[in-house]
Amino acid sequence: MNIILGVTGSVAAYKSYDLLRLWAKDGHDVHVILTKGSLRFINPHSYHYLGAKGVWSSEDDFSPAKNQKFFTAPVSHIELSKWCDLLVIAPLGANTMAKISMGRCDDLLTSVYLALPPHKRVLLAPAMNTEMWNKQQTKDHWHKLTHRPNHFIASPERGLLACHDEGEGKLANIETIFHLSLALPQSSAPQKKWKVLITAGATISPLDPIRYLTNPSTGELGYIMAETFLNHGHQVVCVVGPYSKSKFNDLKDHPSFTLKQIFTAEEMFEETKQYFESQDIFISTAAVNDIKFPPSLKKLKKDQIQNQLQVDSNPDILGQLLLKRKKSQIIIGFAAETELTIEVVKEKILRKPVDLLLVNKSQGPWMKTGGEQGFNESTLGFYAFFPHSASPFDKKNLDQTWAKTKNECAKKILEWCQTNAPIASIAPITPTHRD
């Protein structure tokens, strides 16, 4: 992705170093445009060392030699506006906010903004004193900007400001801005918008008010799925366990994203049921606890755990929703197994006949046996099975991985959905049940 990072005159300008570093590490090309005010807080040379493709000052619109280093045409603000896929202004100070709201362009950054083609995306991350942020004039400018097409926001946070005041106006977390930038819809996003429901992370099964049973799932796979579908213009609802990675919160300002955070399998089932009927695609990545304990309002003593501990079954979320599915819905399941054989896969598909099943070999990180752990690993093999194919239980599917990483898996699932949606012509298979 080609990104322009605009840095304005705010004490938070130094944080833009870390934002550039994240984009560069992720393989994106970045030009940095600095306003006159920003130079009071940062050193332009640092951006070069951190991976910027080019660093521009407010007056560089009138530097033909510098422009020719990157572009053949003579007008810098026009060429930069054509080059970029995304313009991010972080931090966005009150002065620059007012200028771009009113259409003023008296420096390179505001000129690039005004010259942007209408389909180009803009991400704005304000940072200023609380009193400045709360002024009616600022609110008026902000309202104009946030209601313009293809404009997105990273809302300022509450906290201790550089001036020692405390309140709203602090620059959003840099990782929030980074993750949000990657999830924004591409300008080439399809007209047909899917509604995608994703479950992610581990649920917990409380034993008593202090202890519970869970697993090491981080929810990273579900997050990557959400980011991938959002980036391609679709609407995403995520129902997420309590200890999943906090990156889900980084998407809170995304206009097409809804987050529901839960604790138990029962809560996940209830939240998922509310959305399921209206969704086009359901992706079940959550590591749901199969068992639960009778609720105890007091801490259980050791002898109670050793001699009297009762165990019950949690709802089978995927299995129950498969019974309620519509013909046009795509349902994708995941399974983590310590022993991965075709017999295990066949039994699982017959009970839960999804349209696509991804399986991988997993074990907890406390196991010292080596090999793939699955949990907390970004690189692990996914094996794909297609129940509606001519040979749904072909052993050859275990000979090589369908996707080697979670990122690759998400991209291939998106591509598979694009090929197979809608699947109304495919009659859902009736689940079988074990005694």
CA 317 vs. chain centroid, Å, equals: 23
CA distance 10 to 178: 19
pLDDT band (50, 70, 90) for residue 59 = confident
User: Mean pLDDT over residues 80-92, rounded?
Assistant: 96
CB-based contacts of 242-247 (< 8 A; 24+ apart in sequence)? 242/201, 242/204, 243/201, 243/202, 243/204, 243/214, 243/218, 244/200, 244/201, 244/202, 244/217, 244/218, 244/219, 244/220, 245/201, 245/218, 245/219, 245/220, 247/175, 247/179, 247/220, 247/223
Place of tokens 């992610």: 200
What pLDDT does residue 426 have? 43
pTM score, two decimals?
0.90
What pLDDT does residue 369 have? 56
Q: Who has greater pLDDT, 168 or 129?
A: 129
Q: Who has greater pLDDT, 325 or 69?
A: 325
CA distance 372 to 377: 8
One CATH from 3.40.50.150, 3.40.50.1950, 3.40.50.300, 1.10.150.50 for 2-183: 3.40.50.1950
Query: Residue 158: is it exposed, middle or buried by C-beta count within 10 angstroms (0-12/13-18/19+)?
Result: exposed
| Residue 373 confidence (pLDDT) above 80 | no
Q: Who has greater pLDDT, 126 or 294?
A: 126
DSSP secondary structure letters along 214-247: -----SHHHHHHHHHHHHTT-EEEEEE-TTS-GG
pLDDT band (50, 70, 90) for residue 233 = very high
Closest CA to 15 of 58, 49, 46: 46
H/E element, 2: strand 2-7
Same fold? 2-183, 195-420: yes
CA distance 110 to 77: 9
Q: Which of 235-244, 300-309, 368-377 is least confident?
A: 368-377
pLDDT band (50, 70, 90) for residue 187 = confident
pLDDT digits (tens, 9 = 90+) for 19-53: 999 999 999 999 999 999 999 999 999 999 999 99
| Active site residue ranges | 163
What pLDDT does residue 367 have? 61
What pLDDT does residue 73 have? 75
CA distance 142 to 125: 11
DSSP secondary structure letters along 374-419: BTT-SEEEEEEE-TTSSSTT-GGGGTS-SEEEHHHHHHHHHHHHHH
**Mean of all residue pLDDT scores within the chain:** 88
What are the structural domain ranges in the chain? Answer: 2-183, 195-420
Q: Which of 247-256, 347-356, 389-398, 420-429 is least confident?
A: 420-429
What pLDDT does residue 324 have? 92
CA distance 117 to 59: 22
Residue 222 phi, psi dihedral angles, 5° rounding:
-65, -35
Report how far apart the first and last C-alpha atoms of the chain are (Å, whole number): 53
Strands 212-213 and 205-206, by their bridges, are antiparallel
What pLDDT does residue 427 have? 47
What pLDDT does residue 341 have? 83
What stretches of 267-402 adopt beta strand conformation (E)? 281-284, 291-292, 312-313, 330-337, 356-361, 379-385
Query: Residue 201: is it exposed, middle or buried by C-beta count within 10 angstroms (0-12/13-18/19+)?
Result: buried
What pLDDT does residue 377 have? 58
Closest CA to 325 of 345, 290, 351, 355: 355
Q: Who has greater pLDDT, 430 or 237?
A: 237
| Residue 312 confidence (pLDDT) above 60 | yes
What pLDDT does residue 71 have? 82
Q: Who has greater pLDDT, 218 or 306?
A: 218
pLDDT band (50, 70, 90) for residue 433 = very low
What pLDDT does residue 435 have? 34
- The three-class DSSP label of residue 318 is helix
CB 174 within 8 A of CB 258: no
- pLDDT-above-90 percentage for the chain: 64
User: Mean pLDDT over residues 352-379, rounded?
Assistant: 69
What's the fold here for domain 195-420? Answer: Rossmann fold (3.40.50)
Closest CA to 114 of 139, 152, 154, 148: 148
CA distance 409 to 117: 33
H/E element, 265: helix 265-276
| Residue 412 confidence (pLDDT) above 70 | yes
Helix extents (H) in 84-231: 94-102, 108-115, 130-134, 136-146, 174-183, 220-231
CB 56 within 8 A of CB 30: no
What pLDDT does residue 75 have? 86
Strands 195-200 and 235-240, by their bridges, are parallel
